[in-house]
Every structure is written in C-alpha cells, then in structure tokens.
A and B are shown apart, each in its own frame.
Chain A
Amino acid sequence: MKQIGLLPLETYVRTAAEMAQWGRELPKGHGLGIAVHRSFVTYVATVVEVAVDGEGRLTIPGVWSVMDAGTVVNPRHAEAQLEGGTLFGLSNALFGEITAKRGEVVQANFPAWRVMRMNESPRKMEVRIVESDAPPGGVGEPGTPPAAPALANAIFAATGTRVRRLPIFAADRSDRIAKEVGR
C-alpha cells in the first residue's frame, strides 16, 4: 500500500491554486493568499480571497481548499469537515482572542468573544478531496491550520500590510486593515 503524503507539498499548493484560478485578474482591493500544512497525517492547501475596501473593511468572498487524507470512508462528511475546519480557522484568525486576568479568562461568553457568523462567511467555498488508497489520516482538524496563513497572505496581497499578530481584530486593535501607502 502506498504511504500517505508521498506527493510533495507542491502538488497540493498547485491544486488549490488551480481551484482558485490563481493569476486571474482580481477586482480592486482584492488579494489571494495561499498556505499548505500537514497535520493528523493529512495535507491541506488553502487559498483565501479577501476584499479590503477604501475604509479598510475586510470581507472574505472566496475560499478554496484541497485535502489529501489518504483513504476517505465518507467523502461527503470529509468535505463538510474541511469546510468547517477551514472557517473555524478563519474565525479564530480574525477574532478568536482569549486572554486571562487574575487567573480568569476574560472572554466568558459571546458578547466578549466574537466568532464568525453567517454574514461573515464566504459566499464562494469550494473543497476537493484527493482520491487515494493510502492509510487514512484525520479530516476534522487539518482544515484549520492553513486558514490563518492563507488569510494573512491574502491581506498582504490586497494591501501590502503584513499581519504580524493574531487575532487580526483583537479587542485592543482597529477593526480596519491599514493599507501601505500607494496601494
């Protein structure tokens, strides 16, 4: 039996890029970012498209993701898990701040702990499961790790601003994305 993960990372990066039509002409203020990661013996590559308007407001119009989890028993559920894991990662990268004060978590409930909602989720989301007879890897969490770097890279592509701290919209920071001069 073929071992999982013999394909180089490049294959997954190329597949995700193709799915997102990497290199296409983007509307003004839009940017694409890509990332790939291996976790739970599974590879996931993700492309995120962001749009940053003139006031620095961020939206995520599209997400494309490919997963090689070896043998997949239930492809429909694997697709759903990849979608959910990816959006969970984007939600945490955007808002998921947890801090402690005097031994107690400050964000005790949703009023103080923002999570992605329906109106903030991408209108376009495409996922693909690689066909493989290799031993199975995980499908629940591997969507999560590449989401944040793909998002941060997309913000750089759109604005020239590098994200250096997560979450992007922490409570003590602006809810707008700064743009580099001239972008």
Chain B
Amino acid sequence: MKLSINGQAREVDVDEDTPLLWVLRDHLGMTGTKYGCGVAQCGACTVHVDGVPRRACVTPVGSVAERDVVTIEGLAGAEADAVRTAWEAIDVPQCGYCQAGQIMTAVALLKEVAKPNDDQIDQAMAGNICRCATYVRIRRAIHSAAGDDS
C-alpha cells in the first residue's frame, strides 16, 4: 500500500484495516506518535490527515491511502514553530507521554483559529488527556503561541 507520510511517499505491506498507529510505529519505526488507550479516548495518538486531527489508533490505514498524513516528526510551519517555542518557554511537559498528541491538536487549532479564547482552547483540547495534568500550562502556551501573552 502506498502512503504519504510527512510529505514522503512510503510503501508498506499491511492489511488495509491495520490501524494507522501501528503502521507508523511498528512498520515505519516512527515512535513519536504514542499509543495511549487504543479506543480514541485519550488523544495521545493524534496525527493530521489532510490537516485535520485524527486518532491514529482507530484509523484504518486503508482509509488514508492517497491522503496527506503528518505526524509529530514532520509537523512544520509557523504555527508548529510557535507552539514548540511556547511549550519550551513555559515548561509544559512533565512525563511527556501525551505531549505529541497535545501539540498536534494545538497546532491544528491555531491553523483554524489564529487567536483562540479559553472556551475555544478548552473545546479543541478536551479530547487530549494529560495524567500529569499540565492543562493550565497547555492553555497558557497556546495563548503564548498565538501571540496573546497574558
């Protein structure tokens, strides 16, 4: 099966119903995308499919053939740079396990809404669990990445 991952053509020999997460992690060795719950409840496995956040753990790889898949390894652009800078400056991660998914969702939000308010941030990020509970810092870092320092 032919895939487009982070702008590169990749070919993998897998069943069409294999979850995208396991193609990324096991077949392509791209372990930045994390396995959390396996049932689309925690957001740790979030990737972008044609720019939209998707849970890779419940996405059959056959459904993303000929579509643009972007993972944390290939995340690029002004919003991604701003998010990475803010995440570092504000010391957001603790254990770090959920953070790839948090960043994928945050960047997708900022591409959609340049200066989100707290309600828009909460709504967009509610699907990403953080057991270290870094939520207050994630919210602040998204405002900071949007150039909205408060």
Query: Could you tell me which A residues sit within 8 Å of B by CB distance?
Result: 76-77, 80-81, 83-88, 91, 109-111, 115-119, 121-123, 125
- Residues of chain B within 8 A (CB-CB) of A116 are 133, 135
* Contact of A87 with B39 in the complex, beta carbons under 8 Å: no
CB distance from A104 to the nearest CB of B (A): 18
Q: Which of B41, B131, B135 meets A121, CB within 8 Å?
A: B135
Instruction: Choose from B37, B41, B131, B137 the contact partner of A80 (Cβ within 8 Å).
Output: B137
**B115 → chain A, closest Cβ, in Å?**
17
Q: B148 to nearest A CB, angstroms?
A: 15
The 10 closest A-B pairs by CB, nearest first: A87-B133, A121-B135, A119-B122, A110-B41, A118-B125, A119-B126, A125-B136, A84-B132, A84-B133, A118-B135
In the assembly, what is the distance between CA of A121 and CA of B134, in Å?
Answer: 10
B137 and A117 contacting across the interface, CB-CB below 8 Å: no
Interface size of B as a range: 20 to 34
Contact (Cβ within 8 A) B133 A110:
no
Q: Are A87 and B129 in contact (CB under 8 A)?
A: no
Which of A77, A86, A118 is the one whose CB lies under 8 Å from B138? Answer: A118
- Kindly report which residue of chain B lies nearest to residue A109, judged by CB atoms: B37
Q: Is the CB of A118 within 8 A of B94?
A: no
- The main secondary structure of chain B at its interface with chain A is loop
User: Which residue of A76, A85, A117 is within 8 Å of B129 (Cβ)?
Assistant: A117
A–B Cβ pairs within 8 angstroms, 13 of them: A77-B91, A81-B94, A84-B132, A84-B134, A87-B133, A88-B133, A110-B41, A110-B42, A116-B133, A118-B135, A118-B139, A119-B125, A119-B126
How many A-B pairs with Cβ below 8 Å? Answer: 66
B39 touches A80 (CB 8 A): no
Q: How far, in whole Å, are A80 and B121 apart by their CA atoms in the complex? A: 20
Q: Which residues of B contact A (CB under 8 A)?
A: 37-39, 41-42, 91, 94, 118, 121-123, 125-139
Set of chain B residues within 8 Å of A122, measured between Cβ atoms: 136
From B42, B118, B131, give the contact of A123 (CB < 8 A): B118
Q: Which of B41, B136, B139 contacts A111 (CB 8 A)?
A: B41
Which residue of chain A is the closest to B140 with respect to CB atoms?
A125
B137:A118 contact, CB within 8 angstroms: no
What residue of chain B has the Cβ atom nearest to residue A117's Cβ?
B126
Taking a contact as CB atoms under 8 Å apart, the answer to whether B133 and A83 are in contact is: yes
* Closest residue of A by beta carbon distance from B41: A110
Residues of B within 8 A of A86 (CB): 133
Q: Are A110 and B118 in contact (CB under 8 A)?
A: no
Chain B residues lying within 8 Å of A76, measured Cβ to Cβ, are: 91
| Residues of chain B contacted by A83 (CB below 8 angstroms) | 133-134, 136-137
Q: How far is the CA of A76 from the CA of B42 in the complex (A)?
A: 27
Please give, as numbers and ranges, the residues of chain A lying within 8 Å of B42 by CB-CB distance.
Answer: 110
* Supplied contacts A116-B135, A117-B125, A118-B130, 18 more A-B pairs, CB within 8 Å: A80-B94, A80-B134, A83-B133, A85-B133, A87-B133, A91-B133, A109-B37, A110-B37, A111-B41, A117-B126, A117-B129, A118-B126, A121-B133, A121-B135, A121-B139, A122-B136, A123-B139, A125-B136
Q: How far is the CB of A172 from chain B (nearest CB, A)?
A: 21
